[in-house]
């Protein structure tokens, strides 16, 4: 089963844990973004859960474009691998048991078409069926 959803807002990277008063905590911005990912998934999943099989994940992040920028691909922060980590952690326990089930990933980071467009990410999850090429 394929499930696609959109998370509105500037794509966020997974921030490193912080230390204060002898305790480790996740920064608030990361917690909020992961909650937004969960909410977006639950809104379209209709209760579907990738129970225990391999999962394929495609992420396309659309970042805010400066008016003077004409490039298509976003070579600025946040890093695509950190966006991916935030999305995977947001889906843990909601879309699948653990992100170790994700065996295939495709991730792209682009600029929005226009400077006035609102940034967002598109996430697509599917059961992964690998077909080995015959030799």
Domain ranges of the chain: 3-127
Q: By three-state DSSP, how is residue 87 classified?
A: helix
pLDDT tens digits, one per residue of 18-37: 888 888 878 899 999 999 99
The pTM of this model reads: 0.90
CB-CB contact of 127 with 55 (8 Å): yes
Q: Cα separations (Å) of 132 from 2, 47, 63, 100, 123?
A: 21, 31, 35, 21, 25
- Give the homologous superfamily in CATH for domain 3-127: Holliday junction resolvase RusA (3.30.1330.70)
pLDDT tens digits, one per residue of 69-104: 888 999 999 999 999 999 999 999 999 999 999 999
pLDDT tens digits, one per residue of 30-59: 999 999 999 999 999 999 999 989 999 999
CB-CB contact of 104 with 98 (8 Å): no
């Amino acid at each position: 089963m394929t499930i696609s959803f959109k998370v509105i807002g500037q794509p966020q990277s997974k921030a490193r844990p912080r230390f204060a008063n002898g305790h480790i905590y996740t920064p608030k911005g990361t917690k909020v973004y992961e909650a937004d990912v969960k909410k977006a998934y639950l809104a379209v999943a209709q209760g579907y859960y990738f129970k225990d099989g391999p999962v394929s994940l495609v992420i396309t992040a659309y970042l805010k474009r400066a008016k003077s920028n004409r490039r298509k691909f976003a070579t600025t922060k946040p890093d695509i691998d950190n966006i991916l980590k935030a999305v995977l952690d947001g889906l843990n326990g909601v879309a699948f048991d653990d992100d170790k089930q994700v065996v295939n990933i495709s991730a792209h980071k682009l600029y929005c078409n226009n400077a006035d467009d609102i940034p967002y990410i598109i996430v697509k999850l599917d059961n992964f069926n690998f077909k080995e090429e015959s030799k």
